[in-house]
Amino acid sequence: MESASIQSSASERPFAPAVVRLDLSYDGSGFHGWQVQPGLRTVQGELMRCLKKLLPLEGIPPGAGRTDAGVHARGQVASFPLPDPSNFERIQRALPRMVPEDMAVRRVLMVDSDFHARHSACGRVYRYRMMLEQDPLLRRTHYFIPNQLEIEKMKSAAGDLLGDHDYTSFCKASSVVEGKTHCEVRRAEVVSEGPAIVFTIEADRFLHSMVRTIVGTLVEIGRGIRPVDAIPEILHARRRERAGHLAPAHGLCLEAVRYGQERQLGVAALGKDSHADLPGIS
């Protein structure tokens, strides 16, 4: 009922100028990351290639999370301006069938003109998956660790990540921008699922390589290489070399992007299904 009321009220508002929002998922194994790079296959590049067959594309569609090479996504969000709203239905119908098999367009939505996939986001959720037993069927999505880990220590250490902190120590050194290193971590939890371990983290923003460096640090705590109370000292140091190793990219997945209730009300057209179960909408 809520979805129907949103659709009805939104349809009474003028579209132009409008923005199209795309909710995407992809297997990052065959991509050199999200961002377009000359001569390299990227998610953004493939998206642009398909869109250009449907309309004159103005600029490069931004993504909510600029995932690195090998990183996956279930809830990536992109957006682009649509000068002529009459093209919307053709995009909604054709684009999901045009993208390559390691990508999927999960929803195509028309939203208000001030929507921006990256700048409008108020939070992002990442999951990192690990396996303690080698499984060839999961080798592209899980980090195999041939050591037993003390899960309770990892759970305890993850709690020290919560709150607003300076995450310089967990950022790729060459990517540090002074004054822009604080992140508010709202959720950080380690869950054991049989031989699998899943680390979930949600924050208002993330620094370059932040999640993978946190995972590497938690793994070292789980192996007993670092003490369980290591996180606060690492945060305080503000030096990348004080944190743990960089966990491999293939275990990481962008699960969802948060925009808040006001962005739900900005939806001007929906797909056939309700968006209530969509991880990118919250």
For 165-203, the DSSP string reads: EE-GGGS-GGG--TT--EEEEEEEEEEEETTEEEEEEEE
Q: Are residues 161 and 199 in the same domain?
A: yes
| Lowest-pLDDT choice from 25-34, 81-90, 116-125, 261-270 | 261-270
Q: Are residues 38 and 137 in the same domain?
A: no
What's the pLDDT at 7? 38
CATH number, domain with residue 84: 3.30.70.580
| Inside any domain, residue 271 | no
Cβ of 38: how many Cβ atoms within 10 Å?
Answer: 6
Q: Are residues 37 and 71 in the same domain?
A: yes
Of 62, 85, 120, which one is at a domain's C-terminal end?
120
Q: Where are the beta strands (DSSP E) in the chain?
A: 18-26, 72-82, 103-111, 123-131, 143-144, 163-166, 182-193, 196-203, 252-258
Beta-ladder partners of 20 = 80, 110
| Inside any domain, residue 275 | no
| Inside any domain, residue 62 | yes
What's the pLDDT at 11? 43
What's the pLDDT at 71? 98
Indicate whether 2 pLDDT > 50. no
Output the six-digit token pair for 281: 């909408």
- The total of structural domains in the chain comes to 2
Among 70, 60, 61, 57, smallest CA distance to 26 is for 70
Mean pLDDT of 34-41: 96
Output the six-digit token pair for 248: 């491999």
Mean pLDDT of 209-235: 98
| 255 three-class SS | strand
Q: Are residues 130 and 106 in the same domain?
A: no
Of 73, 105, 120, which one is at a domain's C-terminal end?
120
Output the six-digit token pair for 130: 């690990």
User: How far from chain centre, in Å, is Cα 3?
Assistant: 24
Mean pLDDT of 42-71: 95
Q: Are residues 198 and 243 in the same domain?
A: yes
Domain region containing 131: 123-254
Indicate whether 272 pLDDT > 70. no
- Output the CA–CA distances (angstroms, integers) from residue 241 to 2, 172, 235, 244, 275, in the order listed: 49, 10, 11, 8, 43
Q: Are residues 233 and 140 in the same domain?
A: yes
Cα–Cα distance measured from residue 134 to residue 239, given in angstroms and rounded to the nearest whole number: 33
Indicate whether 111 pLDDT > 90. yes
Q: Where are the beta strands (DSSP E) in 27-91?
A: 72-82
pLDDT in tens, 70-100: 999 999 999 999 988 889 999 999 999 999 9
Q: Are residues 171 and 115 in the same domain?
A: no
Q: Are residues 114 and 130 in the same domain?
A: no
What's the pLDDT at 166? 97
Mean pLDDT of 252-272: 65
- Judge whether 273 counts as a catalytic residue: no
Cα–Cα distance measured from residue 192 to residue 209, given in angstroms and rounded to the nearest whole number: 23
Confidence of residue 261 (pLDDT cuts 50, 70, 90): low
Indicate whether 6 pLDDT > 60. no
| Inside any domain, residue 22 | yes
Cα–Cα distance measured from residue 167 to residue 191, given in angstroms and rounded to the nearest whole number: 23
Q: What is the overall mean pLDDT for the chain?
A: 88
| Inside any domain, residue 267 | no
| Inside any domain, residue 274 | no
> How much is the pTM?
0.86
Q: Are residues 73 and 145 in the same domain?
A: no
Indicate whether 195 pLDDT > 80. yes
Indicate whether 230 pLDDT > 50. yes
Cα–Cα distance measured from residue 131 to residue 146, given in angstroms and rounded to the nearest whole number: 8
Of 120, 152, 170, which one is at a domain's C-terminal end?
120
Please state whether beta strands 72-82 and 182-193 pair in parallel, antiparallel, or not at all (unpaired).
unpaired
Which of 68, 102, 160, 164 does the annotation list as catalytic?
68
More confident call, 91 vs 261? 91
More confident call, 111 vs 280? 111
194: left (phi over 0), alpha (psi -120 to 50) or beta: left
Q: Are residues 133 and 196 in the same domain?
A: yes
Q: Are residues 67 and 170 in the same domain?
A: no
| Inside any domain, residue 52 | yes
| Inside any domain, residue 171 | yes
What's the pLDDT at 147? 83
Output the six-digit token pair for 23: 């909710």
| 141 three-class SS | coil
Indicate whether 275 pLDDT > 90. no
